Every structure is written in structure tokens, then in C-alpha cells.
Amino acid sequence: MPTEVSSDGVAMDDQPSPDNLSKNDAFALLAHHRRRLLLRLLQDYSTPFSLAELATLVAECEYENPSVDLRRVVYVSLYHTHLPKLEEAGVILYDPDRGTVTEGPTFDVLVDVLAGTNGLEDSGR
């Protein structure tokens, strides 16, 4: 039987889904404080964000009165490191044409794992 392929050319078996996000993958995704913060922001606002908006919000959460340079550093780290990891796991959907970030198919699973860590100290940065 041939493998079913999605409209973007990816084998359907390879598509991220809540059923194929392992516990190890979830904890690895939550290992960095910036990714945890992204999840909380997306959950709290439940709206698509532009990458620039997310970078500004993250920088404001991490630093008091962040400079343009600090916001740029956050933007670059989101763009090159954190968003690709979350997107690969299906946690977020990033539309480079529109520059928007929204919740993906495994978002709720990872948020549930994160909720299970409430009460633990976040050593953060």
C-alpha cells in the first residue's frame, strides 16, 4: 500500500501529531526557558503573533526595558533556534510568508506537560 502524502509533500506518517510526541521529546522541547515562555504567551493570548511581536514580548519578559539590540538577539534566537524546534514537533505553525506563529497540532500536549511542572522553580536563564 502506498504511503499517503499531505499537500506539502510530507508523508502522513511523518506529520507531527499528539500521538507521536514522546515524553523525552516533550521534556527536551521544554528544556529552554524561552520555549516555555513562548508556549505561555501563545496560550495566554490565543492569537496569531508576528515573529517581531513575539520577540518583543519575550524580550520584555526577560529583561527590564530591553534595548533594540536585546530585542534583535531574542528575534534571532527565536527565528534560528526555538521556532524551528517547536515547528518540527508540530507545537507551533510558522508561516514565513505572513510571518505569523500559531498553535500547532501538538501544542495542547506540550502545554499539558508544562502545566504539570507548575509549582517547580524555573531556574530560567
What average pLDDT does range 59-88 have in this prediction? 96
Q: What CATH class is the domain 22-114?
A: mainly alpha
Cell output for 41: 504567551
Q: What is the pLDDT of residue 101?
A: 96
Q: Report the chain's mean pLDDT, rounded to a whole number.
A: 84
Q: What is the pLDDT of residue 47?
A: 83
Q: What is the pLDDT of residues 20-36, one digit of tens each?
A: 788 899 999 999 999 99
- The sheet with strand 92-95 has its strands ordered as 49-50, 100-103, 92-95
- pLDDT at position 3 over 50: no
Return the domain boundaries, the chain: 22-114
Q: Which residue type is seen at 101?
A: V
Q: What is the pLDDT of residue 20?
A: 75
Is 0.75 surpassed by the pTM of this model? yes
CA atoms within 13 A on the CB side of 90: 16
